[in-house]
Homo-oligomer: A and B are copies of this chain.
């Protein structure tokens, strides 16, 4: 990538973050509505901290940090950089103000753009920083959604440009490539370290669902006592169902014999044609068992995805909710990317011969390879340029606040 195009991309990525924040008022930037979420203000500062810590400080001996205390204050989890504030306390801090954080961003932007114009060597860390910012763009959207959902006034985030009514597609299965296949990233562009190395995996014959599981299909599972019958559930999942009283996907609520849902564009009736979202791994797995199927292994998902071009409704659509399936891949699978992340049955583990990046950046992915499940695809809150076939997203099996949904698989 040329240095000028990298500067361009830097500007564009940072601008997208601003665009996401446009509908928010100052108050919205401060709150942490649960320990797993972060205040928007923190996201804005931490992504800036990333460039300051990993690009500007190493690259320029004369770089003057905006505020020396921010090195500590906006460190997320990089122990090699130093200690960090206790995570659940992020939402208790009201200073620096949102305006000050914006000044921090401007300060770092200026230094970054100056640097990028003179950049001669490898731009790897800058590109990593931009991908990092894209991940936080998605998190801002999902964290804001959670925060607004706690408010009995049900505030909207922004109107959706498109409100596709749509019809649910008929169930159909796609044959996957089996035998000894190759997965993982092996190309030239950017990928996170956890997608490497490209390696061989042996797969038995299998099929994956052509379409995402819809709200209508999921409601059949619910109507059949899905949340009341332990035989569909993993033991840990069943305990959570009972302890937390789960009876529907997150953000659904019953109203006079109908299910409604909270979306970022307001509360409305559940549309049966839409992909179901905000389900945990436990719910995805239970649904699959009820349906006589299973979730795909990540190697299966990737082998199927590799055979089709990438397309989808992403963050840029401004449609902060999954929409009904489009038939843009005749005969092939729909909605592999965009709309909702798809839970796989694969625990998040290192690939064979995986090597974390050196130094503090090795903490980016490697130390989380336990107690999490892999999701594939991308969602309506993912920037389009951030999606790819080899991408490994991961969350704990009980997480529901991401746009996570279900694609089935079965043995052929």
Nearest B residue to A67 via CB reads B153
Cβ proximity bits A273-300 to B, threshold 8 Å, 1 near / 0 not: 0000000011001000000000001000
A329 at the interface (CB under 8 A from B): no
Listed in ascending order, the chain A residues whose CB lies under 8 Å from chain B are 25-31, 33, 41, 69, 72-73, 77, 79-80, 85, 89, 91-98, 147-148, 150-153, 155, 180, 199-204, 230-231, 233-238, 281-282, 285, 297, 345-347, 349-350, 352-353, 367-371, 397, 411
Name which residue of chain B comes closest to A91, CB basis: B31
Taking CB atoms, residues of chain B closer than 8 Å to A28 are 94-95
CA distance A148 to B80 in the complex (A): 28
Give A201 Cβ to nearest chain B Cβ, in Å.
Answer: 6
**Contact check: which of B97, B150, B231, B346 meets A79 at CB < 8 Å?**
B231
User: So how many copies of this chain end up in the complex?
Assistant: 4
Closest B residue by C-beta to A149: B92
Q: Which residue of B lies closest to A150 (CB)?
A: B92
Q: Which residues does chain B contribute within 8 Å of A93, judged by CB atoms?
A: 31, 150-151, 153
How close is A174's CB to chain B, nearest CB, in angstroms?
Answer: 18
Residues of B within 8 A of A30 (CB): 27, 30-31, 94
A89 neighbours in B (Cβ, 8 Å):
150
CA distance A73 to B235 in the complex (A): 19
Q: Evaluate whether A25 and B353 lie within 8 angstroms (CB atoms) in the complex, with A92-B151, A234-B367, A234-B368 already known.
A: no
